[in-house]
Amino acid sequence: MPAPTRRQSNARKDNVEDAACRTRLNGLFARKADTLTLMPEGGKAEAYRGSRAACDGDDIEKCGVYDLLRDFPAIDAFVVSKSLYECGEYQLVSRRSGNVTVTSEVPRLSPSGRCLLSIDNSDACERKYDVAIWSAQSDPQKLEFRYKAKPYENWEVAGWDADDRLRPRAEVSTDKGAYIRTPSAPP
């Protein structure tokens, strides 16, 4: 899932997290109009102030929408989407300290929950990485691996074989044409 944009955030007009999320995380977050407030157990409350009206009115500078998307109880973290007029990001927020790790997609946990994977396939926005893996055992998460391709590559991962092994596939475009890159078919 690439970073959220204004267009994607508009799919949720009511700007309120779902009932199951509110019940499960009772007391850990609050929503008042366009402001999402997270209340980490060991940190200070953090308010994310957005402006859906600015997005709807095409005010690029003030456009921003924050939504609580996911809870990762295994690593005591939430995922907040930050949707901007174009581009956006996901923020993995520690429920213990409030520390934030920014990713380009909702991160995926390894089988044991020791690692987090994020792939950036944005065609419209600057990529900070193509593939990144963080340790989920530290707070904040520690970047363990970062890959940024020289040619244009779009990566996908079918899943984890183990904590230290992924099943990746990349579509690579060069000035000489495009090809598929897998572990068994390197460039």
Tell me the per-residue pLDDT of 15-50, one tens digit each, with 9 for 90 and over.
346 777 777 778 888 889 999 999 888 768 899 999
CA dihedral 103, 108, 114, 115 (to 10 degrees): -50
When mean pLDDT is compared across 28-42, 104-118, 145-159, 171-185, the lowest value belongs to 171-185
Residue 78 near residue 36, CB atoms below 8 Å: no
Cα gap 178→171, rounded to integer Å:
7
* Rounded Cα–Cα distance for residues 130 and 148 (Å): 5
Sheet holding 177-181, edge to edge: 152-162, 165-174, 177-181
User: Shortest CA distance to 119 belongs to which of 150, 94, 155?
Assistant: 155
Rounded mean pLDDT, 66-72:
88
Paired tokens of 108: 């995926």
SS3 content of the chain, % helix, strand, coil (to 5): 10, 50, 45
Torsion of CA 156, 95, 89, 145, to 10 degrees: -40
Confidence (pLDDT) at 25: 79
37, 78 contact by CB (below 8 A): no
- Residue 14: its pLDDT value, please? 38
From the number of C-beta atoms within 10 Å of its C-beta (0-12, 13-18, 19+), residue 7 rates as exposed
Q: Is the dihedral of CA 164, 113, 140, 65 positive or negative?
A: positive
Q: What is the arithmetic mean of pLDDT over 107-128?
A: 90
Indicate whether this model's pTM tops 0.85.
no
More confident residue, 16 or 84: 84
3-state secondary structure of 20: helix
